[in-house]
Structure 1
Amino acid sequence: MKRLFLLISLLVLSKFSAQTWATEDQYIQKFAQYAVEEMEKYKIPASITLAQGLLETGGGQSRLALEGKNHFGIKCKEDWSGKTMKHTDDAPNECFRVYEDPRQSYEDHSIFLATRKYYTGLFNLDMKDYKAWANGLKKAGYATNPRYASILIGKIERYKLYEFDNTSSKEVLYAVLRMYPDLKDDRSFMARLEPGKMVKRDPVTVSVPYKQTSFAQQEKRVERIKTKAEILNSILIKSHPNDGLKYIVIPEDTNVQFIANKFKVSESRLTKWNELESDVLKKNDIVFLESKNSDGNTATYKVTPGEDMHDIAQKFGIKLHKLYAKNRMDEGQQPSPGQLMYLIDKKPRN
């Protein structure tokens, strides 16, 4: 029993040690180095980069950061040829970039700002003026949250991230240690600070009694593959970023009748609300369970290859005929890749 208890304890400890970036402080300790290195290469304030990383990842705990190593919520865009993942942000199932490691994400963030015309004005600002940079990012349209600039400034001032704007990549870890003096007792951090002075530990050997299991017992441990019916019956209603509209994402090919029966909505309403031309629903289709809105939840959207007007209307929860009207397009006409679509009516000039 003692051996079993020791094994369980080690497994639990290893699990918790693997869950890095559990707090914003730990995120800063881990990634300040990357932010300062990028500042030296691209002249982007380290305080801004770190604050954006903190906000976008929720202190490193977001799905994009954990699964895609994407720390800045950068979407695929037309020039991305690397790995991708689907994630709901401004709309369901949006395409986001996937990186090999967080350092690659940090550098891509710098390149993204340095090469996009929307952000060229930022590089005319004082590199130590984090408030101007925060407001400049919001003005340039980096995020749709109206409080984006004030949130960044709040994080910078709360954690004194502006101190990293005045340090070099060779001294950044010492700056972290000044901010978090308790780290002197953290062996892994001190190893980064002074790698030549790392103290080696003797490996711990745990003896576990071997017990042979039959093939039948091993089979029971294999997770059973769900049937198509089970997958369809497990669909959950989601809240769309556009005013919380209720919608679902089809997990397997099915039809309107099945969805209508499952969610107690008439087939005619589902067809009308989603502007469907047939009763066939494909995997990853977005289906609304109520009438869509007349406007999207973001002002504009750039069309990606393969998308049509119906795809865009479903992605942003906007009525199809309203989408045509806002863009002065004839019904049936389709957009071109890279075309800028308007999702909210332009305000008339006075």
Structure 2
Amino acid sequence: MKRLVLLVSLLVLSRFSAQTWATEDQYIQKFAKYAVEEMEKYKIPASITLAQGLLETGGGQSRLALEGKNHFGIKCKEDWTGKTMKHTDDAPNECFRVYEDPRQSYEDHSIFLSTRKYYANLFNLDMKDYRAWAYGLKKAGYATNPRYASILISKIEKYRLYEFDNTNSNEVLYAVLKMYPNLKDDRSFMAQLEPEKYTKKAKDPVTIKVPYQQTSYAQQQKRVEKIKNRAETLNSILIKSHPNEGLKYIVIPEDTNVKFIAEKFKISESRLMKWNELESDMLKKNDIVFLEAKNSAGNTATYKAASGEDMHDIAQKFGIKLSKLYAKNRMDEGQQPSAGQLIYLIDKKPRH
């Protein structure tokens, strides 16, 4: 009987262990891109952020992560005005922050490390030296567990998280695919890659060759404040109604990318690219972006092209499809107007 109980116990433990490791792999696949994005903005190694997330959430399975999307156990504090939840940690029913999206939790973690003086010395370390960062976090009092640094290092080396310190946000998904080739059968993951690259081999992580520069606490504070101000500006974008039959559009207040706009307004990147006839996913300040398909004609008969203005600029200004604008003016695609040229927006240019 004892042998039977022991055998069952071993099977249960074995199954639990297998589920745990599978869960941690899935966590890496899902959140590596957030860690790399934060590394680019706040100069915190992606390997460290990802290892901390793995540890804090138990591979994404903790109550704080599942119910509060809080991946780093950040408590309310006096400056938090968002949603909260009660959770027993160091003491019963402590107040923890609740986020709308895990991405917010990742950024809050970066801001937490970047704006507190007792973590200032971390930013004097080499961003590629995950061991120094792990021991630096422990020394600064991030966690009470005396083995905290070695636990982080163990996770980083077990899952080769250091590879994410040598990539960037444009290449991170290919780095994940290289680590987990079976993801090629996962449609939801592959849908995040460019369609024409579905069948290509996963790229090697791209090494960032910019030499590391030490950062003072004051410099880090300025960088964080600039990032926060930019984020607040982008998050305050309002949808406007265009004179051309009320088409929904926005004006980009700060340089950003199509991905940010797509996620903010819950529209696919491919649709935004198609509706706005974009050749690049980068958006510049004051760019007009439509959140629905443009019309086949403008809301006024003609327009005189300004100096330096191209046909795409005019199409966006008047909410008209670029191909239709070319057709109405009997111009070849790619041909651009001269300053003062009369552009037809409703009826086709008459033949002479």
The two structures have a TM-score, normalised by structure 1, of 0.50
Larger RCO: 1 or 2 (CA < 8 Å, sep 6+): 1
